């Protein structure tokens, strides 16, 4: 088997800390959180105290100021545990990253220290009822009124929506300008006119709150704008590769984990006088899945390396997201089959993994959009080469 070479001793020591935190603070309570469809705010503060939130945030804003691999460790260990309730990835990898990359000094001082400690929870407000992967089609509008903007509209499928204190919100400041009319704001959820809708009941990822959000003439100061007016779509495009990489990391880890506990189950479960693992079909199936998982892991790790060097482009990220999402769903489906009827029972981790998996082909850009991105690049490269050749 290939040995991973990304992590050093400091990363692995941190991994041990994260695992102990999950075992103590999350595992005993997660079934109740799945029933409640939300985790308590106290968990976020405990995670902050353990140094698990926004690891790459510079020390001047209260963070550890360490490299991206520390965030990767948190994402991997959460995925390995099978616990989907705490929306740490959205908070750390997206919201904090947007603020760190594009925020003013005042915005960083306002939000990053509290996000590091878990006192302020971040959310990303992009998807709308009529605009999913097509972000330039959003309808939430922000109208200038003196030194303020007045925001009206609706968002849906928003992770951390019931708990969030700050939202990186995509709006239209020019409804007729397409992608050039998109502007981002940091919206404080304590402002008048903001309202949380119901906590949506989902197929999987039941412990994570996912909400409708409503903005009824929410007045925000112009200083809450993230980046420049009309540049929001460009900013979102620069961060999509990182978002898709994070999803590939999670999928690669889940695939490995599911294979491991399927091997353990089939090695002990007996049928027709032998273990399920003694059947050639079981061994062949798991051999195929393991090989694909190793290939996926190697590609993902290479993408992480490229990202840390500033060399991960949108096409590689789209390929990672597409291929690992498909593998994720394939592994949980074929492994569940090897559990037989027990695989359909919720108390078995494979059942939860199956329900949690389906969203990965949709979230962060659907599989179909990934194919469009990759396919268009293939043909644009061909035409460019044909012209120069």
Nearest to 246 by CA among 56, 374, 375: 56
CB 129 within 8 A of CB 82: no
Rounded to whole angstroms, what are the CA distances from 147 to 104, 106, 166, 220, 225? 17, 17, 20, 9, 11
Beta-carbon count within 10 A of 380 CB: 10
Examine the residue annotation and report whether 243 is marked as an active-site residue of this protein: yes
CB 318 within 8 A of CB 367: no
User: What 3-state DSSP class applies to 168?
Assistant: strand
Assign residue 131 a region: left if phi > 0, alpha if psi is -120 to 50, beta otherwise?
beta
Would you state the structure tokens that stand for residue 159, as one six-digit string? 């992770």
Partners of 106 in beta bridges:
none
Nearest to 307 by CA among 373, 254, 238, 235: 238
Q: Which residues of 25-36 are buried (b: 16+ CB within 10 A; e: fewer)?
A: bbeebbbebbee
Single out the catalytic residue among 34, 77, 243, 256. 243
Q: Which residues are catalytic?
A: 243
């Amino acid at each position: 088997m290939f040995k991973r070479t990304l992590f050093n001793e400091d990363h692995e020591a941190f991994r041990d800390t994260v695992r102990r935190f999950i075992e103590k603070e999350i595992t005993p309570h997660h079934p109740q959180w799945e029933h409640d469809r939300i985790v308590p705010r106290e968990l976020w503060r405990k995670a902050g105290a353990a140094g698990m939130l926004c690891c790459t945030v510079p020390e001047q804003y209260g963070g550890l100021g360490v490299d991206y691999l520390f965030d990767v460790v948190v994402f991997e260990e959460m995925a390995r545990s099978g616990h989907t309730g705490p929306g740490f990835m959205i908070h750390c990898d997206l919201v904090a990253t947007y603020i760190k990359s594009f925020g003013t000094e005042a915005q960083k001082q306002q939000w990053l220290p509290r996000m590091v400690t878990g006192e302020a929870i971040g959310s990303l407000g992009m998807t709308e009822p009529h605009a999913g992967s097509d972000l330039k089609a959003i309808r939430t509008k922000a109208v200038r009124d003196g030194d303020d903007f007045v925001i009206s509209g609706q968002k849906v499928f928003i992770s951390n929506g019931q708990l969030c204190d700050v939202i990186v919100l995509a709006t239209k400041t020019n409804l007729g300008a397409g992608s050039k009319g998109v502007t981002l704001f940091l919206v404080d959820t304590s402002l008048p006119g903001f309202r949380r809708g119901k906590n949506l009941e989902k197929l999987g990822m039941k412990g994570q709150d996912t909400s409708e959000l409503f903005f009824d003439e929410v007045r925000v100061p112009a200083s809450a704008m993230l980046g420049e007016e009309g540049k929001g779509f460009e900013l979102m495009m620069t961060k999509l590769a990182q978002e898709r990489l994070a999803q590939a990391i999670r999928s690669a880890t889940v695939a490995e984990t599911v294979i491991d506990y399927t091997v353990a189950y089939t090695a002990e479960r007996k049928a027709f006088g032998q273990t399920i693992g003694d059947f050639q079909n079981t061994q062949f199936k798991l051999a195929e899945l393991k090989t694909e998982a190793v290939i996926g892991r190697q590609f993902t790790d290479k993408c992480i390396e490229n990202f840390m060097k500033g060399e991960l482009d949108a096409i590689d990220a789209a390929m990672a997201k597409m291929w690992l999402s498909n593998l994720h769903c394939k592994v949980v489906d074929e492994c569940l089959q090897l559990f037989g009827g027990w695989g359909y029972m919720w108390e078995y981790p494979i059942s939860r993994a199956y329900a949690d998996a389906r969203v990965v082909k949709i979230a962060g850009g659907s599989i179909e959009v990934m194919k469009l991105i990759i396919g268009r690049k293939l043909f644009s490269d061909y035409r460019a080469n044909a012209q120069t050749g």
